[in-house]
Amino acid sequence: MPMCTGGTGSISRREFVVGSAIAGIGMAIGPMPVVTGDDGTGEIWFDRPMRWAQLTLVENDPGRYDAAFWLDYFRRIHADAACLSAGGVVAYYPTKVPLHHRSAWMGDRDPFGDLLNGCRKLGMVVIARTDPHAAHQDVYDAHPDWIAVDAEGRKRRHWASPELWVTCALGPYNFEFMTQVHREIATRYAVDGIFGNRWAGSGMCYCEHCQRNFKEATGLTLPRTNDSRDPARRAYLAWREQRLFALWRLWNSEIRAITPRARFIANSGGGALSPLDMKTVGELADILFADRQARQGLMPLWANGKNAKEYRAALGSKPIGGIFSVGIEEPHRWKDSVQSEAELRAWVVEGTANGLRPWITKFSGTLYDTRWLARVERIYAWHHRVERYLRNEQPLARVGLVYSQQTATFYGGERARERVEDHLLGFYHALIEARVPFEMVHDRLLDPERLRAFKLLILPNIACLSDRQCDQLRRFVEEGGSLMATLETSLYDEQGARRPTFGLGDVFGVRVEGPLQGPMRNSYLRLEYAATGGHHPLLNGLTDTPRIINGVWRVGVTPIRPLTVRPLTLIPPYPDLPMEMVYPRVERTDEAQVFLSEVGHGRIVYFPWDIDRVFWEVMSADHGRLLANAVEWATNEERPVAVTGPGLLDVTIWRQKQSLTVHLVNLTNPMMMKGPLRELLPLPEQRVRIKLPQGTKPAKVQLLVGERAPRVEQSPGYVDVTVPLILEHEVVALDF
């Protein structure tokens, strides 16, 4: 079989010779099982669509917008699935459910049915969108108890459309009225699913149903605090979650009773700060959509990849769409806006590289600014062309970054962003800088099956861990895994109660001494490399200085076994003003600030300070180096792919049925930390060394984006590819 290079380009004589020499097919790694929604009917659709298109009609669209234009656009972009507005606050079909408000512009038309039929003629999967979060005056008049109530006892008008009312998500409006709506849509149209937008409520509700149901369930009155240490608040969080999952199950079963292949698809999910337990979300959903539509505020470009990893941690290889907006998604909500092409491209490919299937969302069938149409068409055309290389079966990353919703809730509370998420973000950025392919791991999914793929697990201040979770991590280490942790990891149980010492103290090799210390100012770390005559690999690249900056928070700890190495020791804080006073009072201590140990084939790194959080806040290059070295040392094996060259790249590696891909997303841009990008700036030559999975031989090596041919070298067990240039994205694809 010839070796193709340069996109789908031509074959040169040299390449042909090389290709012939290495021809062969090998499959060593079995694919992970793909859940396809086996409902006994043989109708399976979840894994089929690769490119989604969502058109959310506005109320005055019917009779005004051009349905044929949209259907033609769906065809042009090769969309194979659509999400179309059906009901909820506005019905776009001739509903018979009392109080289900028909679009005032609809007349006797059926805009939803017309679009659905058009999509079906294109062979598309179609799911119906409902949005139950707001209701009209007639609903209020007939059922005032369906309306959400604020803490002062007032019924809530809609914040953006004051002629509407905010509905209660946990009472009869959703459980009864919306169930009727969902049944009607499923019955009339036999849709493939119903996508529920804003289905989970709009903050605390103090309506009569919530008061009574909460009291009956818990014996408590509804809390008036957000403090997660408050017993009523804790009970409320658990009760609300249970109600919402009950609602999800109800809608799902009602829809499936009518159309077995159909599902209720909740617009839900996320990372540590998301409210619904992702383990349960992952169990309930056969397909899900990550709704982070674009960047806002200070947000790195890799945030879309993080989003993908968080969802995949819970859903495994089930399909996940990445919802992106063509517009600017800042809090000021310009819903009819269009953002730059560079930003749009970079955002979507960052999702694609991390396993999201693109989902373009557009509100309003009437367009005011059409610049996005061609931009999205170009993105989707490429996606369609290389689709088979995007049907991932398994990531090959060996590093897992753990996230913990229970830590965010019970340890972080109202300060979860700083105390929990910022630790994770610091590690995330450090791994990106170090070009380490990695996955994210949910802390309630630490069973050996899931962890088998990983060599190293990173616990960025995962403070709350149950005894069982600690046991699972201990077992992971016993079986050869490595562990890296920071600060208060495992110092609290799953409910946030502080333990006398770390749950994983025996693994870290420390016990706690006293409370958390900080915020420290002007504290340093002494690099102890001279004493041993050589330096520990943790200090690679740092041996030209005797010290670097310390973090801000630290835990006092004592080693429980003799330390064989002590590469970092504490230089305690000293005054930072007046300048005359700025000199260290203690130049040297023997207090270790990193604990390293080896357990069988596994390696343990424990930092008793907030290196990850401070890295996110300060971005010290020394801390970045230390984190990268620590990951390298703890992993203690060759990476599945090593990429060398200048710049900042997100590197992901995937296995498909007959191929292996390495995605390289160019994050090197002055607008990397805050969008939107103005232009795409090409990254110069990168050398990509891929360690071939056992038993595989590539028959063909190609670049899926660039036009220029790569230089390819083969050696036993490796393929070396020189990628000449990367604009926003490149994919090195090996066919087996």
Interface with Zn ion (CB under 5 A)? 168, 171, 205, 207, 210
Name the minimum Å distance from CB 183 to Zn ion. 22
Q: What are the backbone angles phi and psi of residue 703, rounded to the nearest 5°?
A: -100, 135
Residue 473 corresponds to which tokens in the numbers above? 């991590």
Q: What are the backbone angles phi and psi of residue 248, rounded to the nearest 5°?
A: -55, -50
Name the minimum Å distance from CB 99 to Zn ion. 18
Name the minimum Å distance from CB 83 to Zn ion. 27
Name the minimum Å distance from CB 149 to Zn ion. 6
Q: What is the DSSP string of 334-387?
A: -TT----HHHHHHHHHHHHHTTPEEEEEEE-SS-S--HHHHHHHHHHHHHHHTG
Q: Which amino acid is at 581?
A: M
Query: Taking a C-beta distance cutoff of 8 angstroms, is the pair 103, 91 a contact?
Result: yes
Residue nearer to Zn ion on the CB measure, 236 or 454: 236
Residue nearer to Zn ion on the CB measure, 81 or 210: 210
CA gap 661, 690 in Å, rounded:
10
Looking at beta carbons, which pairs linking 32-36 to residues 24 or more positions away fall under 8 Å?
32/316, 32/317, 32/393, 32/394, 33/317, 34/317, 34/318, 34/393, 35/286, 35/316, 35/317, 35/318, 36/286
Residue nearer to Zn ion on the CB measure, 171 or 355: 171
Name the minimum Å distance from CB 97 to Zn ion. 21
Residue nearer to Zn ion on the CB measure, 205 or 634: 205
Name the minimum Å distance from CB 201 to Zn ion. 8
Name the minimum Å distance from CB 210 to Zn ion. 3
Name the minimum Å distance from CB 205 to Zn ion. 3
CA gap 197, 445 in Å, rounded:
27
Name the minimum Å distance from CB 229 to Zn ion. 24
Residue nearer to Zn ion on the CB measure, 207 or 342: 207
Residue nearer to Zn ion on the CB measure, 62 or 201: 201
DSSP 3-state of 435: coil
CA gap 87, 100 in Å, rounded:
8
Name the minimum Å distance from CB 171 to Zn ion. 5
Residue nearer to Zn ion on the CB measure, 145 or 685: 145
Residue nearer to Zn ion on the CB measure, 191 or 232: 232
Residue nearer to Zn ion on the CB measure, 205 or 594: 205
User: 247: Cβ–Cβ under 8 A, 6 or more apart, which residues?
Assistant: 169, 170, 174, 175, 199
Residue nearer to Zn ion on the CB measure, 148 or 677: 148
Residue nearer to Zn ion on the CB measure, 171 or 693: 171
Residue nearer to Zn ion on the CB measure, 165 or 428: 165
Q: What is the DSSP string of 278-331?
A: HHHHHHH-SSEEE---S--SS--TTHHHHHHHHHHHHHTTS-EEEEEESS--ST
Length of the chain: 736
Looking at beta carbons, which pairs linking 88-92 to residues 24 or more positions away fall under 8 Å?
88/129, 88/130, 88/131, 88/132, 88/133, 88/178, 88/181, 88/197, 89/131, 89/132, 89/133, 89/134, 89/135, 89/136, 89/164, 90/57, 90/59, 91/181, 92/57, 92/62
User: 123: Cβ–Cβ under 8 A, 6 or more apart, which residues?
Assistant: 80
CA gap 428, 431 in Å, rounded:
5
Please state whether 649 falls in left (phi above 0), alpha (psi between -120 and 50) or beta: beta
Name the minimum Å distance from CB 148 to Zn ion. 6
Query: Taking a C-beta distance cutoff of 8 angstroms, is the pair 90, 364 a contact?
Result: no
Name the minimum Å distance from CB 140 to Zn ion. 14
